[in-house]
Amino acid sequence: MNVIVAILIAAALLGLNAWLYVANKNTPVPEGCESLKPDCAGCGITDCAVRIRQNDREENE
């Protein structure tokens, strides 16, 4: 019984996570923040999602 409850809790949290991820992605970026550029020059983390997205955008342009 305990195992089932544990699985249910984990599944609920996973579902919440997935739902919030999709909802966040579908939420429009506020006006004036569309071209918000991260200051990647001031950051040494090379494999973060923000930098990868920024690099992709620059390559497409």
Partner 1 sequence: MNLLTLFLSALLINNVILSKFIGMCPFMGVSTKLSSAVGMGVAVIFVIFGASVLSWALYYYCLVPLGLEYMKLICFILLIAAFVQFVEMFIKKNSPSLYKSLGIYLPLITTNCAVLYVALDNISQGYNFIETLVNSIAVPAGFMLVLVIFATIRERLAGSDTPEAWKGNPIAFVVAAIMAIAFSAFAGLV
Cβ-based nearer residue to partner 1, 46 or 60: 46
Residues 2-61 that bind partner 1 (CB under 8 A): 2, 5-6, 9-10, 13-14, 16-17, 20-21, 23-24, 27-33, 36, 38-39, 41-45, 48-50
Cβ-based nearer residue to partner 1, 32 or 58: 32
| Number of residues located near partner 1, criterion CB under 8 A | 31
Q: What residue spans of the chain are helical by DSSP H?
A: 2-26, 49-60
- Computed on alpha carbons and rounded to an integer, the radius of gyration of the chain in Å comes to 18
Q: How many CA atoms lie within 13 A of 51 on its CB side?
A: 10
